[in-house]
Amino acid sequence: MTKRNLLIVFAAGGSAAMLLAAFAFQHLGGLAPCKMCIWQRYPHGIAAVLGVVAIILPGIRVLPLLGALTAAITAGIGVFHAGVERGYWEGPSTCTSGDIGGLSQQDLFDQIMSAPLVRCDEIPWELFGLSMAGWNALVSAGLVLIWLAAWRAS
């Protein structure tokens, strides 16, 4: 196996492992994901598929760059989400606490009924001071570097 392919397997496998961990936390650990948690999963799925395609079609040199881009996107979402959890900035109004001032009873009722079950601005689990979103950002940043190393090895 070439160095390029080994790096791609490691990077794509890292994204697949992140997805499996997220599903394990959800289905085995009982931690339902919020909207931003779900957003972070899509780029990992794309990166895993890109890895398979990059191994099968090694002549397409742009695939490792696309893998790096998807890892960077999920890392960025993870940083944003971790900031929302820590109260550094506001998240989407559809998954955080919002202002209810000035709402009619019907508007308030509609907002409550359409509210997500899990809020994006609460930390359901953390390890060494990092939430799952923070860990996703950190690991995904490392995956960006691995994808870029695979691209350079092409």
pLDDT at residue 80, as a whole number: 95
pLDDT at residue 95, as a whole number: 72
Higher pLDDT, 99 or 130: 130
Range 54-72 average pLDDT: 95
Distance of alpha carbon 31 from alpha carbon 118, whole angstroms: 9
The SS3 call for residue 97 is coil
pLDDT at residue 39, as a whole number: 94
For residue 150, what pLDDT band results from cuts at 50, 70 and 90?
A: very high
**What are the extents of the domains in the chain?**
3-90+105-153
Distance of alpha carbon 52 from alpha carbon 48, whole angstroms: 7
Range 30-59 average pLDDT: 94
User: Cα separations (Å) of 87 from 24, 69, 90, 122?
Assistant: 27, 27, 7, 9
- In 1-153 the beta strands, taken as DSSP E runs, fall at 126-127, 130-131
Q: List residues bridging with 127 in a β-sheet.
A: 130
pLDDT at residue 128, as a whole number: 94
- Percent of the chain scoring above 90 in pLDDT: 62
Best CA proximity match to 64, nearest among 140, 141, 136, 152: 152
> Does 46 score more than 90 pLDDT?
yes
Higher pLDDT, 63 or 123: 63
pLDDT in tens, 74-123: 999 999 999 998 988 888 877 765 555 666 777 767 766 665 567 777 78
The pTM for the full model equals: 0.82
Element (H, E) at 131: strand 130-131
The answer to whether domain 3-90+105-153 has CATH 1.10.3470 is: no
